[in-house]
A and B are shown apart, each in its own frame.
Chain A
Amino acid sequence: GQSLEQPSEVTAVEGAIVQINCTYQTSGFYGLSWYQQHDGGAPTFLSYNALDGLEETGRFSSFLSRSDSYGYLLLQELQMKDSASYFCALWNNNQGGKLIFGQGTELSVKP
């Protein structure tokens, strides 16, 4: 099977940098994605790493290391509106491909 592990919650202050880690176990996958979900809302896509290394999109960056079965989401210049849950997700490459989510990390940004 496959599984993804993330910290359940993280707290940081406005303007700071925070890193949300994700470790995974899988027999094979296409890439690692990150999603954001605000309370009462739908998950929305943030980034995707098909290859090892860093992908940068504005204040958000995502990293993947296949050899370490590890990835992270880096959020810079934190804003209050970044308070949300963040999920890592694997595109599994068995049975045609399915998108499996971690349990999510609740980020609280304090003033």
Chain B
Amino acid sequence: DAGVIQSPRHEVTEMGQEVTLRCKPISGHDYLFWYRQTMMRGLELLIYFNNNVPIDDSGMPEDRFSAKMPNASFSTLKIQPSEPRDSAVYFCASSSRIDTEAFFGQGTRLTVV
């Protein structure tokens, strides 16, 4: 398996634009996590899915953020409209079950200007 694949690797957008981040988890992994990493706040869990169902979205900062997992091999994180304070590295991770290793994608570095 190629591991967790995220796209794009880098995204620069203007404030107010819609941004969509994509993630392909490792095949067979039932858990998918979206994290945001900044210097100030570290690695924050935004939302996670189990078997394509969102289980906990309490970390989603506000209504501008939404996430979907239409099938077991694809998830999106959307920000609409984007703001400069959304600039961060967004990681997707997947795991075969609870209490085992989580595998991270290479992240998407988002810059909102």
Give chain A's interface residues, CB within 8 Å of chain B: 30-31, 33, 41-45, 48, 50, 87, 91, 93, 95-104
Contacts and interface: CB of A to CB of B under 8 A. Distances in A.
Interface of B: 31, 33, 35, 42-43, 45, 48, 50, 55-56, 91, 93, 95, 98-107
B43 A98 contact: no
Contacts of B43: 43, 87, 101, 104
Contacts of A31: 99
A-B pairs with lowest CB-CB distance, top 8: A97-B98, A30-B99, A42-B104, A101-B43, A45-B101, A103-B42, A91-B99, A96-B55
A17 B71 CA distance: 46
The B contact surface, by secondary structure, is strand
Contact of A43 (B56, B98, B99, B104): B104
Contacts, number: 58
Contacts of A104: 42-43
A96 B101 contact: no
Contacts of A93: 98
Contact of B42 (A50, A96, A101): A101
B98 A44 contact: no
A2 to B, nearest CB: 10
A95 B55 contact: yes
Given A48-B100, A99-B93, A101-B45, 16 more contacts: A33-B101, A42-B106, A42-B107, A43-B91, A44-B104, A45-B103, A48-B99, A48-B101, A96-B55, A96-B98, A97-B99, A98-B45, A98-B56, A99-B33, A99-B95, A101-B35
